[in-house]
Structure 1
Amino acid sequence: MNEQQKLNPFLSVWLHPKKTARYVMDNKGIPYTLFIIAISYIGVFSASIIDTKLYPTLPILGILVLLIICSVFFGIISNAFYSLIIWPIGKMFKGVGTYQELFKALSLISIPYVILIPFYIIWMYTDPYSLFYSSFEGMLGIVGIITLFLTVVVTVWCIVISIAVIAEAHQISNWKAFFTLLIPTVIITILFVIVFIILAVIGLAIGSFFVY
C-alpha cells in the first residue's frame, strides 16, 4: 500500500466512513482497534456523566481517572457485545462480514466523541454542579450550552457513521444497514421497558404488602 492510500481513522471517518472502515478492516489489527476504542470511549463516557452526582464525592481528577478506566474496560466490552448483536442481524440481510470485521469497523463509530473530551473537562472544572446535578438551579454557562449542543450533533453523526460502517463491513446497502442497526435498538428498548414494568409491579406488590 502506498503512502497516499494510508488513512488516519480519527480524521477520515468523519467524511469517509466506508473507506475508513475498509482500511481498518484490511490493514489494522486488533491492538489498533482496541486503541481506537480506548480513546474514543473517553468521549462517550464523558457525555454520560451528566447528572451522575459524582462530584464532590470524587475530585475532578478522580473522575477523569475513572473515565479513562471505564473507557478501556467497558468500551471494549461494549464494542464486543454490540458487534455480536450486529453480526447475525446483518446476516439476515445477506451480509457477509465476519465478527472480527464487525468488531474492527464498529470501533470507528465513537471516534467523533473524541472532540467532546476537552469541552467536558472544561465544564467539569468551571461549573461542576451544573454538569453533575440536573436539579442545579443556576444559569447554565456558555461552556455547558456549547458542550450539550455539540453532544447532540456528534451523537447524530455517529448514527450516520454507524450505518455506513455496517454497510461496508457486511457489504449491504445503507437501507439494510439502517435496519440492521434499528432492529437491536428496538429489541433492547422493548426488553428494557418490560424489565422496568416487571420491577415496578414487584415494587408496588411489596409496597402494598407492607402497607396492609
Structure 2
Amino acid sequence: MNQENLRPLLTLWVKPRETTRQILDSNNSKFYICLVILAGISGALNNAVEQGAGDEQSFPFTMILAMILGILGGLLSWYIVSLILYWTGTWIGGEATREQIKIAFGWSNFYIILTMLLWIINILMFGQDLFTSENQNSTAIMYIGILELIIGIWSFIVLVKMIAEAQHFSVWKGLGNILLTILVVMVPLAILGGIISLLILSF
C-alpha cells in the first residue's frame, strides 16, 4: 500500500508508524479532535457503569452528564497529557514539536470508533440497567469488557509506536517516553494522597 493511500482509522491498527508519519507530514485533518471527545465520553460512561450511577439517576440524565463530563474531561486530559508527553520526551532527546505530539496523541484514540460501537450494543441491550449495580456481573457485560480489554492492550502498543515515530525514537524509547509521563502524573498524586492521609490521621 502506498503511503498516500493510507487511511488512519484503518491502517493505524496494522501500520502505526507509517500512518503516523503520513499524518504528521501531510494530513491537516482535525478529525482527531472528534476522537478525543469520543474517548472522553467513553471514559465517562465507564465511570457511570462502575459507580452504578443508574441506581439514583435517570437514564437520560446519566447519558447527558456523561456527554458533558466526557467532552470536557477528554479535551482537558488530551491537552495536559500531550503537554507532559512532549515535555518528558525532550528529556530523552525527542525531536517532535508540541503540535506533533498533540496530533499523534489525539489520533492514538483511533480505536474509540470500535469501542463506541460496543457501547451502542451495550446500551441497546441493557438501557438503564447497564448503569445499575445489579447488572455489574452480567455475562454479556463481562464478554464486552474482555473485548474492550483486548482493544485497550493493542491500542496501547499502537500508542507506543506512534509516539516513537513522532519523536524519531525506537519502540523501547517511545515506551520510555510514555512511562516517564505516567511517573510525572502519578508521583505528585501519590505524594498529595500521602499528605492528605497524614493530615486525616493527625486529627
Normalising by the smaller structure, the TM-score range is 0.7 to 0.9
Q: Residue type matched to 2:41 in 1?
A: I
Q: Please show how residues 61-72 of structure 1 align to structure 2 within 5 Å.
A: 61-72=60-71
- Give the number of the structure whose alpha-carbon radius of gyration is greater: 1
Counterpart contact for 1:41–1:113, Cα < 8 Å: no
Counting matched residue pairs gives 201
Give the Å deviation of 1:149. 0.5
For structure 1, the residue ranges without an aligned partner over 5 or more in a row are 207-212
Matched residue SS, 2:101: helix
Q: Residue type matched to 1:163 in 2?
A: V
Counterpart contact for 1:105–1:169, Cα < 8 Å: yes
> Which residue pairs with 1:82 in the alignment?
81
Counterpart contact for 2:32–2:109, Cα < 8 Å: no
Aligned residues: percent identity?
18
Distance 1:81 1:53 in 2: 28
**Mapped pair 1:172 → 2:169:** yes
> Which residue pairs with 1:200 in the alignment?
197
Q: Please show how residues 95-134 of structure 1 align to structure 2 within 5 Å.
A: 95-124=94-123, 126=126, 128=128, 131-133=131-133
Q: 1:189 aligns with which of 186, 189, 192?
A: 186
Matched residue SS, 1:110: coil
Give the Å deviation of 1:175. 0.9
For structure 2, the residue ranges without an aligned partner over 5 or more in a row are none
Change (3 A) 1:42 1:9: farther
Normalised by the length of structure 1, the TM-score is: 0.81
Counterpart contact for 2:55–2:132, Cα < 8 Å: no
Matched residue SS, 2:49: coil
Counterpart contact for 1:38–1:71, Cα < 8 Å: yes
RMSD after superposition:
2.5
Structure number having the greater helix percentage: 2
Q: Residue type matched to 1:27 in 2?
A: S
Normalised by the length of structure 2, the TM-score is: 0.84
* Runs of 4+ residues deviating >6 angstroms: none
